Amino acid sequence: MSEKVYRTAIYARLSKDDGDKAESNSIVSQRGLCEEYITKHRDLELVETFVDDGYSGVDFNRPDFRRLEEAVRTNKIDAIVCKDLSRFSRNYIEGGRYLEKILPALGVRFIAINDNYDTLTGDPSVNSFIIPFKNLINDSYCKDISVKIRTNLDVKRRKGEFVGAYAPYGYKKDPENKNKLIVDEYAGDIVRKIFSMYKDGLSVCQIAAHLNKMGVLSPMEYKISEGVNYNTTFRKSAVAKWSYRAVKRILTNEVYIGVLAQGKRGTPNYKVRVVQNRDENKWIRVEDAHEALITHDDFMAIKTMLGRDMRSTGADSEDNLFSGFIYCADCGQPMTRKMVPCGNKRYYYYVCSTNKRHEGCTTHSISTREVETAVTNAVKSQISNVLDLSETLAYIDRMPLGDLVTSSYKSQITKLEKELDRCLKMKLRLYEDLSDGIINKEEYADFRNRYTAMIEDKTSALERVRREYEASEISGDVERAWITLFRKYEGINELDRRTLMFLVDKIFVYEKHVVEVSFKYKDEYQWAYELVKSNEDIINKNIDHIGRNESLIAMDREEE
């Protein structure tokens, strides 16, 4: 009886984690070792070689392994030769299933050369103990490598080093340090232009349309034009265009204020390869990691506006100056702009959106001109109040009041932290109130939105105050950015979107054409006002003292 000749396949694998520097682990070395082994054994006939270069041994979803599996199941192959067990698998459970169940059931002979393992000639009693143990060691090795890689990446992230495959649009990797982002002059200018257009009142869709009209390459197409080997499953057409999502992604990405937020997505462990989104509290955020393209105040102002109803009124109508700002004072819902034609003219006015939907409330009808006049006067008055207050604050800063300013900052921070904590607790309590039937679903949604807005407002104020406090400790000078912002608009005669975006929070319309303007930086203004009021006596005494000294100096000069 003639000896059976096995139709043999060589399987070689090398993962990125294994590296390609060690010759013993290279594909060439594996293939050469296996070919030599087959040549020396007359019962083996090489039919085909299968290679997975750059694939982990943990996952069996490898292209050539799947081809090998198909060849086995279609009876084209009845023997597999590998350099060792780790080349076949580093998954203890799945590897054991293939070696102990699937391959024996299909009548396939398996040989791992360096492990001296051959299912045809090996001792089953010995193999039943040794092989699972080796598979476990290979699995543990892969787990150890995975932990080391994850730890190393987290260390880099915490140091503010960029570890992504592709730099965000507007930046590029530093040629001298791939973990550092530097500004891409062309794309950076486009990013600044996008933020500028939004500040001028263009909607996200209008910005996307304008960029496409001007022939500006989308982020994906720009990467490709720069020679970056970039591909994505999200491509919907041959040439990617600017879209609502692409523009909004830029407007909401804090990388443009110098913040590097990484670790947003990842796999649960080294065996599960499905990428999942992580909770925001697990992200690794580092501020001032690279050069910012826009200011922090610009970003926060735009973030606030993106959360509001900013729908366009149409290309044929005049710009809606107050879109996203004007609200009904009684029901709290946005006001809707209406147009009334009269001859060749058009007249615009606002009405309560709740009333327009016939869901209650009253019209609160008011003309655009009345709103503009009232808001302009209120802005001028607030600017004047802030500048008057700033002079007194500057005087306090120069006074020998010890740690007055420092302690005031600390008290303001403490107060804001308490208010933020209160808002967070009240928001968390809403679900209990809903479950207990104290409030209904509509009230729950309304209260949740209000508390979310309050939390964002307090958080922003807290960040600003902390930055000012830190700056005052380092330099000894107090630079109140919010006062500088109001000073920038001193002497304003006409409103525009930028003025509203940076100075005004909301505009409330009451019945009988009464308009109330809620300004930004309310917490900072109130704190500054209370600081001045609480130290009014000390300020006045110092002014009197300085006045007397100036009089004495004048008298001395006259006597001379």
351/480 Cα distance (integer angstroms): 38
Go through the chain and tell me how many residues it has: 560
265/256 Cα distance (integer angstroms): 20
Q: Which two tokens stand for residue 330?
A: 């009684």
Instruction: List the CATH number of the domain containing 30.
Output: 3.40.50.1390
Instruction: List the CATH number of the domain containing 188.
Output: 3.90.1750.20
Strands 276-277 and 265-266 come out as antiparallel
Residues 277 and 205 in one domain: yes
Domain carrying residue 175: 171-306
503/305 Cα distance (integer angstroms): 13
For residue 50, being part of any structural domain is answered with yes
Structure-token match 């054409």, residue found: 513
For residue 281, being part of any structural domain is answered with yes
Structure confidence at residue 547 (pLDDT): 44
For residue 497, being part of any structural domain is answered with yes
Structure-token match 């006596």, residue found: 537
Three-state DSSP class for residue 66:
helix
Structure confidence at residue 485 (pLDDT): 83
Q: Which two tokens stand for residue 164?
A: 């992504």
Is residue 131 within 8 A of residue 140, CB to CB? The reply is no
Structure confidence at residue 546 (pLDDT): 41
Residues 275 and 333 in one domain: no
CA dihedral 498, 500, 505, 506 (to 10 degrees): -140
Strands 326-328 and 335-342 come out as unpaired
Is residue 484 within 8 A of residue 449, CB to CB? The reply is no
Residues 122 and 205 in one domain: no
Structure confidence at residue 231 (pLDDT): 59
Helices 481-488 and 368-398: angle between axes, nearest 10 degrees: 130
251/262 Cα distance (integer angstroms): 17
For residue 311, being part of any structural domain is answered with no
* Overall domain count for the chain: 3
Residues 105 and 42 in one domain: yes
Structure confidence at residue 236 (pLDDT): 52
Name the residue type at position 552. Answer: L
Q: Which two tokens stand for residue 288?
A: 């001032």
Residues 298 and 268 in one domain: yes
Structure confidence at residue 521 (pLDDT): 84
Q: What's the pLDDT tens digit per position in 260-289?
A: 988 888 776 555 567 778 887 788 888 889
Is residue 119 within 8 A of residue 81, CB to CB? The reply is no
Residues 146 and 90 in one domain: yes
Tell me which residues of the chain have a pLDDT lower than 50: 1, 19-24, 126, 129, 133, 233, 312-317, 401-402, 475-477, 543-558, 560
Residue ranges with strand state E in 438-548: 504-509, 515-519
Structure-token match 């580092």, residue found: 286
Name the nearest CA neighbour of 456 among 303, 328, 278. 303
Q: Which two tokens stand for residue 380?
A: 């001028």
Backbone angles phi, psi at 367, to 5 degrees: -75, 155
Residues 286 and 184 in one domain: yes
Residues 332 and 286 in one domain: no
For residue 354, being part of any structural domain is answered with yes
Instruction: Give the C-alpha distances (Å, rounded to integers) separating 95 from 66, 90, 132, 148, 274.
Output: 14, 7, 9, 23, 20
Residues 92 and 65 in one domain: yes
Residues 336 and 441 in one domain: yes
Q: What's the pLDDT tens digit per position in 478-537?
A: 557 778 888 888 888 888 888 898 899 999 999 989 999 999 888 778 777 777 776 665
DSSP state of 22: -
Residues 301 and 342 in one domain: no
Q: Which two tokens stand for residue 233?
A: 């499953």
**Among the residues of 21-123, which ranges form H helices?**
27-40, 63-73, 85-88, 92-97, 103-106
Strands 117-118 and 109-112 come out as antiparallel
For residue 546, being part of any structural domain is answered with no
Residues 381 and 519 in one domain: yes
Structure confidence at residue 37 (pLDDT): 93
329/333 Cα distance (integer angstroms): 8
For residue 475, being part of any structural domain is answered with yes
Structure confidence at residue 402 (pLDDT): 42
pTM above 0.85, yes or no: no
Q: Which two tokens stand for residue 468?
A: 């000012």
